[in-house]
Amino acid sequence: MPPRNIPLHTRLPKTYHIASVKRETEQVTSCTFDVSLGSRPGQFVMLWLPGVEEIPMSVANDDGKQLQITFFAIGETTRKLASMKKGDLVGLRGPFGTFYEWKPKQHLALVAGGYGAAPMYFAAREAAKDGCTLSVFVGARSKGHLLYLPAFRKLPRTTLYVSTDDGSQGFKGFNVQLLEKTLKEGASPLAIDQIFACGPERMLKSVSDLSFRTKIPGQLSLERYMKCGFGLCGNCVVDPLGIRLCTDGPVVRNDIARKITEFGKYHRDELGRKKMV
């Protein structure tokens, strides 16, 4: 048999009962399952509602016993998922893709926009276990959309910076602006070893530019339309590199992201048509 580079359980969904449901904000919900898929921070799973649809979903936590996802009920499928209860059946396959990587005791700046806070918390929790020092920049439209703040506060060696677009909590403006301000005013740029980011593409583009200017290495989680998750369908192939973000992403190093000319400009829909960011 030829070598198998994608494990079997990632190619066929298996259904699990929802172990718990938690309403995080008005539109954001978390679901927990009593299963570990061995996911690393930044990876995603394909989540299947039998008879409805399957969608990609970032892993908000996978501690070896339980897996958690946190999502914004924005479309038909996520709204259905948000209305599900403990004990309902949901299919999972994965984990897929690349993940955030760090070295023990590094100083990491984590930039999280909107529900990007969920996977970023997973990264923070795991990096904290490796003795990393964390500067976490959580941003959202307004106070009611800020996620995971109490959880971040509980982590060791962690400084939390909060920003909202409307100034309803913390710094008024974008989290990237707050990071830049902090780099200038506070510790010297050299104090930060890496910047990790997860959030809307405009935010990622700003982080990418900042990482490039300051020469602090960055790792960004890029989102593209994905169907299969294991490199066959071609929907998540990016211009002009031709890499598939389900296998070569979603977490890419900033030097790679900067070679993706569509990054910050357009992405492709389910028909492969270009859609401006």
Partner 1 sequence: MDLSQKILGIHFPNPTVLASGIWGITAASWRAAARAGAGGVTTKSLWLKEHRGHASPVIIATDHWTLNAVGVPDAGIEKAREEIGDYQKDQPVPLIANIIADTVENYGKTAQAIAKLKPEFLEVNISCPNVEDELGKPFACSSHAAAAVTKAVKAVSGKIPVFIKLSPNVDSIAAIAQSCAAAGADGFTVINTVGPGMAIDLKSRMPILTNRVGGLSGPAIKPIAVRCIADVYRATEGKLPIIGTGGVMTGEDALELMLAGASLVGIGSAVGYRGSKVFSLVCAEMEAWCEREGVKKIGEMVGGMQRKLKMQNSK
Residues in contact with partner 1, total (CB under 8 A)? 44
Question: CA 261 → CA 131, 186, 203, distances in Å?
Answer: 36, 33, 16
Name the residue nearer to partner 1 (CB basis): 132 or 238: 238
Q: How far apart are CA 216 and CA 254, in angstroms?
A: 10
5 is an interface residue for partner 1 by CB under 8 A? yes
Task: Please report whether residue 188 would count as binding partner 1 according to CB under 8 A.
Answer: no
In the sheet that holds 171-172, the strands lie side by side as 171-172, 158-164, 133-140, 107-113, 194-198, 218-221, 251-253
The answer to whether residue 75 forms part of the interface with partner 1 (CB under 8 A) is no
Q: Token digits for 177?
A: 């602006």
User: What dihedral do alpha carbons 52, 55, 58, 60 form, nearest 10°?
Assistant: 0
> From the list 75, 156, 167, 272, which residue makes contact with partner 1 (rule: CB under 8 A)?
272
Examine residue 234 and tell whether it contacts partner 1 (CB under 8 A): yes
The answer to whether 11 contacts partner 1 (rule: CB under 8 A) is yes
Q: How far is the CB of 262 from partner 1 (least distance, A)?
A: 9
Asked if 84 is part of the footprint of partner 1 (rule: CB under 8 A), the reply reads no
List beta partners, residue 273. none
For partner 1, the binding residue among 40, 237, 253, 266 (CB under 8 A) is 237
Nearer to partner 1, 12 or 276 (CB): 12
- Select from 31, 45, 55, 132 the one that contacts partner 1 (CB under 8 A): 55
Task: Return the number of the residue (6 or 190) whose C-beta is nearest partner 1.
Answer: 6
CB atoms within 10 A of CB 257: 24
Among 38, 50, 156, 186, binds partner 1 (CB under 8 A): 50
Name the minimum Å distance from CB 254 to partner 1.
20
Whether residue 165 contacts residue 174, with contact meaning beta carbons closer than 8 Å, is answered with: yes
Output DSSP code: residue 75. S
Binding test (CB under 8 A) with partner 1, winner from 3, 64, 104, 150: 3
Q: Using the rule CB under 8 A, which residue among 84, 169, 239, 253 binds partner 1?
A: 239
Read off the tokens for 178. 């707050």
Q: How many CA atoms lie within 13 A of 69 on its CB side?
A: 27
For 66-191, where are the alpha helices, taking DSSP H only?
76-82, 117-129, 149-153, 175-185
With binding defined as CB under 8 A, does residue 129 bind partner 1?
A: no
Cα torsion 63, 85, 50, 115 to 10°: value is -50
Residue 266 as a binder of partner 1 (CB under 8 A): the answer is: no
Looking at 82, 241, 253, 266, which residue binds partner 1 (CB under 8 A)?
241
Picking from 77, 109, 66, 84, the residue whose alpha carbon sits closest to that of residue 195 is: 109
- Site for partner 1 contains 87 (CB under 8 A): no
DSSP 3-state assignment of 209? helix
Nearer Cβ to partner 1 (145/244): 244
Q: Interface with partner 1 by CB under 8 A: which residues? A: 1-6, 8, 11-15, 46, 48, 50-55, 89, 91, 227-228, 230-235, 237-244, 247, 268, 270-273
